[in-house]
Structure 1
Amino acid sequence: MHQTNPKCNVKLCSNNDVPPSSVIRACLGPSLAQVFFDYTHHDTIKLLDVLTPLKTSKACFSIPSDRQLSECRFIPPTDHQIVKGFVHQNILEIGEALLERVKKDIAESLRDKIERQSREKFYLYQAKKRREAELHAEQLHEKYGNYIETVQHELQKQLEVEWSKAAAECAKNTQKAVVQERINVTNEMMRKMRAEMTHVVQSLYKDFEELFCAKRDNIIADFNQIMRGKHVKLKKEMQEFKEKVNRDLYIQRRQFEMQNAADLIHVLCLERLRNNREKHIMHKYFQQQINEFYELMVRLKDVIIAMRKEITDCHIEKKLLSEELCEVAKHFQKFIDFVFRAMPRQADYLLPLELQRIIRPDKDKEETKNIVE
């Protein structure tokens, strides 16, 4: 928005002169001044270009005091001053009108621009919302479309299953109805045929029973006659067979008894032979073991004799060695006594205890006895 110089009103109010074009441009701005110059009267433009402001002019709106009114006298204004005052007032009015118009135009343009921008933003917002709604609707449509297809597929499967079940149940019921109808027809026919069949069967049964009784009596009579002859013959054969069997059994029994006795005698002999053989083997084995034991005893006896001989030899050798050691110790004791010029047995403490015990075995025995007592 165009901004005016804040000093323009002070200058215009302090002077009654016509302002030049440069002052108007400085006060109103180049764009607003150009608009003012374009739309103002031609005489006014000439006046603004020709006239120059007077620096000593008084302020147009100054209020004189009472003293000034009493001192100075009234001077009527001239035509030139009146023209300048009207021109100045017209310029101010035109400038204010143009300023108001420009402000209104700028405000309207700004309002239009703001409205247009807000409308565009609103349209963009609505378009964005519509796009989001469309995308959401597409997603929902796709989601529920898939769900509807899945449900439709499942319902189709369920419908097929139910239809197959219903068809199977219908076929089963139809088959049951057909079977039931056949059973009913069969029962009806059986009821009708039962009376006729009963009469026929009873008549046939009566005839058959009469024939059967006659044949049975004849067969029984023939069978009894045949069985009587067979029974007599069979009884005779049975008696002969029993006698023969008893005789054969008695002979076989005697043979078995004799065979058992012979077997027992044979087994007893074999057992005695086996026992004698085992006894001979055991006697031979133990005799061999005894002989080996005797030989072992002889060898052990020889070993014991040899060990006794070695032990006696060791004792003899030990005794000889102890005597030799005792002699050496005595000579060594004498040598010590000679070296230290001591009395006999005064330097015994220089000898080891073993040598002292060897040299004086009797004294050691006495000391041990005293300790024991």
Structure 2
Amino acid sequence: MYPSIQSKLPEVGTTIFTVMSQLAAASGAVNLGQGFPDFSMSGELTDLVAKAMNDGFNQYTHMNGYPLLRQRLTEKAQRLYKTAIDPESDITITPGGTYAIYTALTAVLQPGDEVIIFEPAYDSYIPNIEVNGAIPVRIPLQFPDYAIPWQEVRARITAKTRVIMINTPHNPTGSVLNKEDMLQLQAITTGTNIIVLSDEVYEHLIFDGIEHQSVLRYPELLKRSFVCFSFGKTYHCTGWKLGYCIAPEPLMREFRKVHQFNCFSCDTPKQVALAAYLLNEEAYLSLGTQIQQKRDFFRTLMQDTPFRCIPSHGSYFECYSYGHFSQEADKEIAIRLTKEYGIATIPVSAFYKDNTDHKVLRFCFAKKEETLAKAVAQLKHL
């Protein structure tokens, strides 16, 4: 007999990403569900990793991250956002952006605290909150533009509100926050004890000439914020699982208390390589244009299908509605498209705790053009 366990996440099962990816593999379908590129990352960057290994950078580096990498990231923040970040006290390298989010929440949440999140939401948010004994306060983004209803945010704040989580560019919808959104958030939190957690892993994957509204642009917001980033999304190496968190010293001090007993330190040779590669500013400054070309190519293909586009302005994803031609549940049509039409997507209801179904599917367009063309070809017959 096995020992009994009282689950901290009793409602959590296998994620929809795993389910759809397994179904895609079993069906031989093209996987436009999970958010990872199928094209090669920079050969220059992989060569720099090999060089770092050959140069002997194969042991632990500093718990907070390779010092030169932290320095280069603070220089980048200064160039892009005119923000002074202390590389010693304000930045920690992490094994991925999701880890950074979890660690930030774990550092500050106490049982009974409330965390405002906006749905549809990246699927780690609610489990991260609940495993810490806190309570997710779910506010739906306004459909179909997926805008934040700020009046409702004000109405839902209580004495127990500890954190407000934002995500821009947004996964799964590709919506982005504008300057007015950030000023609203600043006004709501000023003079309170509320912490902001900003998920900015798609920082450079932003389109249509829109300027990314990082919390790092807003000094008053940054004083109360954890800001989380991903190298994997920026450099097409999601399997590296490397990211970082920026926060003011009092918040980062608590973050590092959790970090040191969980991960302690991250992959050294990749950090050394990234420190060198960050000197190539064009590699990240040109990213939005490169990925927008893929979005635009995918949009053109999708015009020959019955789906209707809900425009994305960032991330790897674009959502498409189908309620005008079918009333199938989004999970059911996603399964049917995988089995019968050879294309795997993600039903957007999976990003709502109560499975709100607006008849919308999420497609990942961060793929080779031939992959996208092959995937969409069968949808023309739908």
The structure richer in strand per residue is 2
The structure richer in helix per residue is 1
Higher relative contact order (CA 8 A, sep 6+): 2
TM-score normalised by the chain length of structure 2: 0.14
TM-score normalised by the chain length of structure 1: 0.15
